[in-house]
Amino acid sequence: MDGMKESKIIQPSFSKGKAIEKTEISISGEKKIEDMSNKISLFMTKVEDIFGTMKQQISRLEETAHKSPAPSLEVRSKPVNVTIFRVDEKLFAVESEKVFKLFKVPNTFQKRYSNQEKIRLRDFEVKMINLKKIFAIRGRESKGEMKILAVKDNGEYKGFMVDQVVKKISAPSEKKGEVGEYFSGVIHSTVEEQSVEIPILDLKKF
């Protein structure tokens, strides 16, 4: 059998096919991992957006809770007790708790008292205040007895020359109208069947 050559049995090689198969499996696995990673990333982004929205809403609620209520346009203070008096045709008011006494001075002493800065009534000194001069009130000169409305403010007596004490009332004081340098507020009252706005004198300014 010399002429016969040993034939070698060649086993089929599967190494290349297996390599391709492994590569395909590897690529498929990586794609799945990438897809899952993208899904997780997208999910986390949505969760962050939801938490961000919730945080904003909570922050707004906290701001609303801490904000003080808006003041009413018609807020009025507690009622104050005042004494209304007339100087010529003008009406003024002072706090009743500060009114000391109403003095009546005879007409013969009117010029003497009206031009003095301080006078002595009974056993105390009174600083005279002429509202006609301060507010440039022009009216006829009173020929009757002069009235001095004495008030006490911070231990000092002050006397307003008045024509008439109208009445005492209790009414809310408002910070509007004629409130200015000499006034602490205004009240509304009915005088001689007419509704009027009356300034309250700030005694510290006199």
| CATH code for position 153 | 2.40.50.180
Domain membership flag for residue 91: yes
The pTM score is 0.61
Report residue 155 as tokens: 């231990």
Q: Which is nearest to 98 in space by CA: 146, 172, 154?
A: 154
Looking at the structure, tell me whether residues 50 and 83 fall in a common domain.
no
Note down pLDDT in tens along the chain; length 206 residues: 454 545 455 555 545 555 555 555 566 667 778 778 788 888 888 888 888 888 888 888 877 666 655 544 444 578 999 999 999 999 999 999 999 999 988 877 777 776 788 888 878 899 999 999 999 888 766 667 789 999 999 999 999 999 999 999 999 988 865 557 899 999 999 998 899 999 999 999 99
Contact 86, 162 (CB under 8 A): yes
The answer as to whether 73 is a domain residue is no
113 and 191 inside one domain: yes
Q: Is residue 185 part of a domain?
A: yes
**Cα 67 to the center of its chain, rounded Å:** 11
Q: Is residue 174 one of the residues assigned to a domain?
A: yes
- The single-letter code of the amino acid at 9 is I
Do 97 and 175 lie in a common domain? yes
Query: Is the residue at 1 inside a domain?
Result: no
Q: Say how many domains are in the chain.
A: 2
Same domain, 187 and 163: yes
Q: Is 5 contained in some domain?
A: no
Say if residue 189 is exposed, middle or buried (CB neighbours under 10 Å; 0-12, 13-18, 19+): middle
Q: Is residue 138 domain-resident?
A: yes
Burial of residue 148, with CB atoms counted within 10 A of its CB: 0-12 exposed, 13-18 middle, 19 or more buried: buried
Burial status of residue 121 (CB atoms within 10 A of its CB: 0-12, 13-18, 19 or more): middle
pLDDT at 169: 95
The confidence score (pLDDT) of residue 206 equals: 92
The parent domain of residue 44 ranges over: 14-67
Do 26 and 108 fall into the same domain?
no
Q: What is the per-residue pLDDT for 19? A: 52
pLDDT at 73 (0 to 100): 42
Q: In whole angstroms, what is the distance from residue 166 CA to residue 92 CA? A: 10
Question: CB neighbours of 87 closer than 8 A, spacing ≥ 6?
Answer: 131, 132, 137, 160, 161, 162, 163
